[in-house]
Structure 1
Amino acid sequence: MNLVSAACKYLKIALLVNAIFFTAIYARVVSAQGDPAGVLLKPVKVAPNTYFVQGRAEMGSSANQNFISNAGFVVTPQGVVVIDALGSPVLAQKLIAEIKKVSNQKIVAVIVTHYHADHVYGLQEFKKVGAKIYAQGEGRNYLSSETAKQRLIASRVDFAPWVNDSTRLLPADIWIDQKTKLTIGGVDFFISRVGPAHAPEDLIIYIPSEKVLFAGDLVFRGRIPFVGNADSKGWLIALDEIEKLNPNIVIPGHGNYSVKPAEDIVFTRNYLKYLRESMANAAVNMDPFEDAYKQADWSEYEGMPLFRAANRMNAYNVYLSIQAE
């Protein structure tokens, strides 16, 4: 073993020991004082039987327990249906506790809009209370990928102690590969795949009786969207599909709920369009990305939360994806 590999090995061991130690200390503090991080979930009622909790417009961290995405739930006469599971097991535990304050019905289902870490690291807690997990079939590819494995390894360090060695990725109990109507307690949930868009396995969930649509990360409000390896062209088509449903309320994956969906979807659409327009010529002509990025006018977006953290990466990923189209 050379010095570099030995150093890496010992660093990994040190990080693991530190995470385990931090978790143990946290457990003692919580039992004595309650949650010292002060991360509160406050369900907001947006329709007669529909609630959501709003994540913070921040990067995930230990300080915020990775509470950066939204989740929601619908109460039916025969059980509660949850949409997305939040970004750490402790957040899922808090959401379960809040649901119990609203209804004495059991949590019977969790529908995953997509398998990004901030939406699924809480799944194991819902599984413990007996919920069935529903997700789109392409999620199987992510779960078996090296990307998912490495992301969880990194998250166990970045979000310790809230994400740790006990945190695991769970597959769906029911994989959805076509439009599906799930009926629970007489309430219909229309589940549609609209990806590849933000992710290959994007699902939207429409509840006609509530006139509410859960859009996952196809819609962002109040912050710069995360593009990652998205199919930006498919994403724009997906936004058109959301509008055709004409919901009264859209609950996005990030940001406050919308009571004017047609207006609020415009922000995400215009941002994606501008990314494509500003990167297209350089991508097609194989001109340097740096030149295209400097020439673009980002003034409309640079004052928004997470601009510095996400915008450059978003533009670069769109630049590469246009070359691959």
Structure 2
Amino acid sequence: MAKEFASKADLGEKVISFVELGKGCYGYTAEGDPNSGVIIGDDYVMVIEAQATPRMAKDVIAKIRSVTDKPIKYLVLTHYHAVRVLGASEYGVDEIIMSQKTNEMVEERGAQDWQSEFERFPRLFRGHESIPGLTHPTMIFEDKLTVDLGNKKVEIMHVGEGHTRGDSIVWVPDEKVMFAGDLVEYGATPYCGDAQLKNWPLTLQKLSDFKPKALVPGRGEALKNEVECQEAIQMTSEYVTMLYQEALLSVTRGETLKQCYDALMKNMTPRFGEWVIFEHCMPFNVTRAFDEASGISHPRIWTDERDVAMWNELNS
């Protein structure tokens, strides 16, 4: 390989935070690593995002047990990526919840995504040998599902495409707390390798219209007021909009993928280059943006072999 994946050098441990954002609503964040969420009702606990391995899920469970002994009954997976779902077995929940489109993506490309993500970012798969296999849902919904945790109504919704075509959000209306998955990032680069880039800003506008008072993004610190929530939504929208528009211009000019990548790195680094995992994400993001701008609406499946070939082409 001409140049190792940027993530291969990311070996440092992250500081975990477990922050209450509203009554019974918590954000589990890790300095730019994948976040999880927790909602505690009078009867049951719901977890949002499983983490990448059962071993890593144990730490989420330990944080939950520091504040409640109520049973963890529900696990919501906002999309299909391996770093979000493969730790599911550790929770022992009654129900694993996904949108219909997310379930379709697990079936279509879950195995390839697991291998691809593990090779790209091995630090995020600590204890990978404990993963029993792909995570499949026990409960599937199309547009909206409402769950009562005991005097705590939770709404799980697929409001539009963005980070993937199956993204869900979790909304606690009484507290106005949102768990946005990777539809929203804060100070972290959105991963767009499987994105629907033209639709993503439209979906983000729908999230903005909820006017959340607190929000757990896919990566980055938990947001504790409405101003921070809107800032994170807007920053994510600005990134994905610029990525797609710049790629569309490149395709219109008849440029190669490598020329497109070089141009976007030059133009986007001054504005977004300090965000977490910027160098790691950009080759995947530009490749997907170039594909979508070229008329490939359904993202091509990433494999270990495709990852390496793309990385070598763009970083030679």
Q: Give the TM-score of the pair, scaled to structure 1.
A: 0.79
Sort the Cα spacing of 1:153 and 1:312 in 2 relative to 1 into closer, same or farther, 3 A.
closer
1:54 aligns with 2:29: yes
Q: 2:250 maps to what in 1? A: 282
- Paired residue secondary structure (1:222): coil
Identity of aligned residues (%): 23
The amino acid that maps onto 1:75 is I
The CA distance in 2 between the partners of 1:113 and 1:89, in whole Å, is 18
1:162 aligns with 2:133: no
The CA distance in 2 between the partners of 1:256 and 1:149, in whole Å, is 30
Deviations 1:168-196 (A, max 9, x none): 22211110112222222021111111343
The CA distance in 1 between the partners of 2:239 and 2:287, in whole Å, is 14
State the shift of 1:221 in Å.
Answer: 0.8
Q: 2:312 maps to what in 1? A: none
User: Is the CA contact (8 Å cut-off) linking 1:84 and 1:111 kept in structure 2?
Assistant: yes
Match of 1:294 among 248, 262, 287: 262
User: Is the CA contact (8 Å cut-off) linking 1:109 and 1:134 kept in structure 2?
Assistant: yes
Q: 1:102 maps to what in 2? A: 67
The CA distance in 2 between the partners of 1:139 and 1:301, in whole Å, is 29
Q: Tell me the matched-pair count.
A: 276
- Paired residue secondary structure (1:172): coil
What 5-or-longer segments of structure 1 have no aligned partner? 1-36, 58-67
Equivalent residues in 2 for 1:223-302, closer than 5 Å: 223-258=188-223, 259=225, 260=227, 261-296=229-264, 297-298=267-268, 299-302=270-273
Q: 2:101 maps to what in 1? A: 138
- Measured on the aligned residues, the alpha-carbon RMSD in Å equals 2.1
Equivalent residues in 2 for 1:111-126, closer than 5 Å: 111-126=76-91
User: Is the CA contact (8 Å cut-off) linking 1:199 and 1:229 kept in structure 2?
Assistant: yes
The CA distance in 1 between the partners of 2:140 and 2:191, in whole Å, is 25
Sort the Cα spacing of 1:166 and 1:302 in 2 relative to 1 into closer, same or farther, 3 A.
closer
Q: 1:205 maps to what in 2? A: 170
Equivalent residues in 2 for 1:30-49, closer than 5 Å: 41-49=16-24
State the shift of 1:50 in Å.
Answer: 0.8
State the shift of 1:155 in Å.
Answer: 6.0
- Paired residue secondary structure (2:137): coil
The CA distance in 1 between the partners of 2:55 and 2:261, in whole Å, is 39
- Paired residue secondary structure (2:105): helix
User: Is the CA contact (8 Å cut-off) linking 2:17 and 2:30 kept in structure 1?
Assistant: no
The CA distance in 2 between the partners of 1:149 and 1:184, in whole Å, is 32
The CA distance in 2 between the partners of 1:256 and 1:223, in whole Å, is 10
Q: 2:180 maps to what in 1? A: 215
Q: 2:139 maps to what in 1? A: 174
Sort the Cα spacing of 1:181 and 1:94 in 2 relative to 1 into closer, same or farther, 3 A.
same
Deviations 1:46-95 (A, max 9, x none): 112111111343xxxxxxxxxx2100111110111111111211111121
Deviations 1:288-315 (A, max 9, x none): 2333333341211223322211123212
1:73 aligns with 2:38: yes
- Paired residue secondary structure (1:233): coil
State the shift of 1:165 in Å.
Answer: 6.0
State the shift of 1:166 in Å.
Answer: 4.1
State the shift of 1:42 in Å.
Answer: 3.5
1:318 aligns with 2:280: no
The amino acid that maps onto 1:79 is Y
Larger RCO (CA within 8 A; separation ≥ 6):
2
The CA distance in 2 between the partners of 1:151 and 1:289, in whole Å, is 22
The amino acid that maps onto 1:148 is G
Sort the Cα spacing of 1:229 and 1:154 in 2 relative to 1 into closer, same or farther, 3 A.
closer
User: Which is further off, 41-50 or 198-207?
Assistant: 41-50
User: Is the CA contact (8 Å cut-off) linking 2:247 and 2:286 kept in structure 1?
Assistant: yes
The amino acid that maps onto 1:102 is V
